[in-house]
Amino acid sequence: MCTLQAEETHLAAMAYANTNRDEVTLSLFDISWEDVLIPHVAVHLTLKDLFNLRSSSRTALRFVESALEKRQELHLSGNSTKNIELAFKVMARCCRRVESLQLACCKWLTDELLLPLLAYNKQLRVVNLNECVNITPLALQPIIIECKELRVLKLSKCQWLTTGAVDALTLHQSKLVEFDISHCGAIGERCLIIFFRKLNRLQVLSLAQTPSVTDQVLIQIGNFCRELQHINLIGCGAISDYGIHAISVHCTRLQSLHIRRCPRVTENSLSPLRQRRLRIDRPQQDVYAYNLNDFYPSDFLVY
Amino acid sequence: MADTQKLVSLRTCDNVLHKVPEHLTLQMRTIRNLLSCKIFSDTDTVIPLPNVSSQMLEFVIKWCEAIGPGDKALGSMQLSTLLTATLPDLEESELVYDLMKAANYLEIESLLEATTQHVADEINNCNSLESVCELFGLENDIGPDDEEGEWW
């Protein structure tokens, strides 16, 4: 039932009530749903509030489902309460205008639960599926192909993410502003090289603990992602000063760099960035780190 | 100053005539738009308010006096706090709903925001289904076989 029908049902019920104004007690649901309650009251309520209200009466149920129809943000990250799957089914049935979908660490989430929600919400701008370990690339397909306004996609620790899924992203999603595929071990270097050639608007990027991130990948990022502001490369053991230098030269808007546990990245490439006042997570005291790039290692031995 | 300020005549739904200083009515977009029309700009013209009672209009005037024309930068929470301070008689839920309706009809954005935030806060303070029903005087008519019942 759409919002207008639900509200008209309630108004029709009111029309049979006593019309003597002294005897009619105004209740919450007598106030305009479209003009007041949904845009001004429901927008301040959490999902928990809405579901408590929904269970209180049939009128409240109709109201809450009308409010869910228009709700633009679903924030369930970290939520693993009892009956969450049932609640999600209600949301999948009702929501039609979701733009921000926050489902990080929702280990209960499956393709079967997620696909119905995605079928009716193609205007998604932000999707956070970090650590959603029980979904598959099948759930990602409608997001990649249908959501033309997608700007933020977070898939950290989604070990199920395949090269094929990233290839599909390359083909359909070139307007991403924020992207996180940290801890996704199945993505190959070549796939990433091709991917970053298309992502010209990227501003925030996390590739932490992604073993296939090499200097070649960083060179592509430097060449094509000129808008980059924040990059996380923690634990990318294959990168060196050469890759960092490529980013340093071309990404002039860079503001922060996370580079811990990258032993081949030294102050040779970090010093120019420190002079630019970049926020770098590794402290500067580490200037005597063993430099694997050096052809004359004896110069760097610490006695 | 009180003798020379322009007064606008408003007749509420209970047929009571109120003479309200113009600078307060300018916070009500509905009235402001009417005053910009020639037919209503004459000082003798009475503007009808069929959806607003005398009691509610008095509340609205108190609010407009408290908020002032320049305080548009207050957030929802601040507006809600100001509402409770300005109108302590508003403890009864029915009055809040009447005031919300009046604010919507008169298009007073700050008052609408304050009353709706107030109601949202009341719902947020309910920790159980029973407290929600008690707050709004609702009778739980949802059947026991409804599987999509209480979430928490």
Best of A52, A81, A83 to mutate (most B CBs within 10 Å, chain B): A52
For B56, the domain range is: 7-117
Beta bridge partners of A154: A128, A180
List the single range of A16-30, A31-45, A284-298 with lowest mean pLDDT: A284-298
Rounded Cα distance between A73 and A76, Å, is 10
Structural domain contains residue B15: yes
Burial of A114 (0-12, 13-18, 19+ CB in 10 A): buried
Contact B116 A40 (CB under 8 A): yes
Structural domain contains residue B138: no
Residue A218 has what pLDDT? 96
Chain segment A68-79, per-residue pLDDT in tens:
999 999 999 999
Do residues A133 and A159 make contact, with C-beta atoms less than 8 angstroms apart? yes
**Nearest CA-CA distance, residue A67 and chain B, Å:** 13
Residue A159 has what pLDDT? 93
Enumerate the residues of chain B whose CB falls inside 8 A of the CB of residue A58.
141-142
Give the ipTM: 0.82
Residue A21 has what pLDDT? 45
Which has more confidence, B1 or B64?
A: B64
Chain segment A199-219, per-residue pLDDT in tens:
999 999 999 999 999 999 999
Residue B90 has what pLDDT? 65
Structural domain contains residue B87: yes
Q: How confident is residue B152, by pLDDT bands cut at 50, 70 and 90?
A: very low
Per-residue pLDDT at A193 exceeds 90: yes
Residue B73 has what pLDDT? 63
Q: How confident is residue B146, by pLDDT bands cut at 50, 70 and 90?
A: low
Q: How confident is residue B81, by pLDDT bands cut at 50, 70 and 90?
A: confident
Instruction: Find the closest chain A residue to B133 by CA distance.
Output: A56
Structural domain contains residue B112: yes
For chain A, the structural domain boundaries read: 28-71, 73-142, 151-303
Structural domain contains residue B126: no
May I ask the CATH class of domain A151-303?
alpha beta
Chain segment A252-275, per-residue pLDDT in tens:
999 999 999 999 999 999 999 999
Q: What is the pTM of this model?
A: 0.83
DSSP characters for A104-129?
Answer: TT-TT--HHHHHHHHHT-----EEE-
Question: Which of B93, B119, B129 is nearest residue A56 as measured by Cβ atoms?
Answer: B129
Within 10 A of B115 (CB to CB), how many other CB atoms are there?
31
Structural domain contains residue B142: no
Taking alpha carbons only, the member of B108, B128, B115 closest to residue B86 is B115
Structural domain contains residue B113: yes
Mean pLDDT over all residues of chain A? Answer: 88
Mean pLDDT, to the nearest integer, of A33-48? 93
Per-residue pLDDT at A302 exceeds 50: no
Question: Which of B104, B133, B152 is nearest residue A36 as measured by Cβ atoms?
Answer: B104
Q: How confident is residue A298, by pLDDT bands cut at 50, 70 and 90?
A: very low
Chain segment B113-133, per-residue pLDDT in tens:
889 988 898 899 888 888 888
Mean pLDDT, to the nearest integer, of B89-117? 85
Enumerate the residues of chain A whose CB falls inside 8 A of the CB of residue B147.
86
Which has more confidence, A123 or B62?
A: A123
Chain segment A86-108, per-residue pLDDT in tens:
999 999 999 999 999 999 999 99
Rounded Cα distance between B30 and B103, Å, is 10
| Total of domains in chain B | 1
Residue B40 has what pLDDT? 65
Question: Which of B100, B116, B140 is nearest residue A56 as measured by Cβ atoms?
Answer: B140
Residues 6+ apart with CB under 8 A from B70: none
Q: How confident is residue A12, by pLDDT bands cut at 50, 70 and 90?
A: low
**Could you tell me if A59 lies within 8 Å of chain B, comparing CB atoms?**
yes
Residue B93 has what pLDDT? 59
Residue A245 has what pLDDT? 95
CATH code of the domain covering residue B94 = 3.30.710.10
Do residues A268 and A241 make contact, with C-beta atoms less than 8 angstroms apart? yes
Per-residue pLDDT at A235 exceeds 50: yes
- Locate tokens 């322009």: which residue? B6
Structural domain contains residue B26: yes
Contact B142 A61 (CB under 8 A): yes
Rounded Cα distance between A229 and A225, Å, is 10
